[in-house]
Amino acid sequence: MPANLVSPTVQSTALSIFSNLLAQIISSYKNDTPISFNLAAVFNFAVYTIISTPPNILWQSFLEDVFPTNVPAAHPTPASKPASANGKEKPASQKTGTRTSKTNVIMKFLLDMTLGAVLNNLMFLVFMGYANAPATATSAQASWAAVQHEVKEKFWVLMKDGLKLWPFVSLVSFLFVPVERRVLLGSLVGVGWNIYLSLLAG
C-alpha cells in the first residue's frame, strides 16, 4: 500500500474500532443489559475500514484532479503600462491567482452524493451481509442470499439517513479542507455515523 494511504487508513481503522465499541456500550445501555463486547463485530468493522478507506482516498483524489476546487484566475492590473518606445501603450499585465470554481464544487458534490454514496453503501452492506451470514450458511449460495437480504432491507434506509449528514460534510470538505485531509475529516465525523452503522448492522 502506498505511504500516503497507510496513515489515513490506520487513523480511520482506530476510529472505526472506537465507534463500534461505543455503539455496543450504547446498545447495552438502551437494552438495559450487561456490557459484553462482541469482538467479532469489532473485527468486522476494522477489516471493512481497512478495505474501504484506500478506495475512498483515491476517489477523493480523483474528484479533486478532475474537478479542482481552486482554478487559476488571471486579473488585469487596473493601471496600464507606460507607452513603449514606438508610442503604443503596453497592455495591462496579468496578475495570476486562484478562484473557487462553483461548477467544479457542484460536480464533485453531485458525484459524491450519488455514485460515491451508492458504491460506499453497497460495499458496506455486501461486506456486512457476508460477514454476518448465519453460521449455517456454509455454501456460496446461502451467503449470497444473506447479502441480498441485507441490501434489500437496508440500502434505501442507509441512503435516506445518509442524506441527513453527508451533504453538509461533503460541501464543507470540498470548499475548505485540503484534499489530503478530507478522508480524516470524514473519519472524525464518521465516528457518529459508524455508531449508527454498527447499530444498523446489529
Alpha-carbon torsion, ordered 38, 42, 48, 53, to 10 deg: 160
pLDDT at 63: 94
pLDDT at 58: 93
pLDDT along the chain (202 residues), means of 10: 80 90 87 88 93 93 93 65 55 67 94 95 92 69 84 92 90 88 82 81 64
pLDDT at 190: 82
Other C-beta atoms closer than 10 Å to the C-beta of 38 total 14
Domain boundaries in the chain?
A: 3-71+101-201
What region, left, alpha or beta, does residue 187 occupy, with left being phi > 0 and alpha being psi -120 to 50 degrees?
alpha
pLDDT at 198: 78
pLDDT at 96: 60
pLDDT at 77: 52
pLDDT at 197: 80
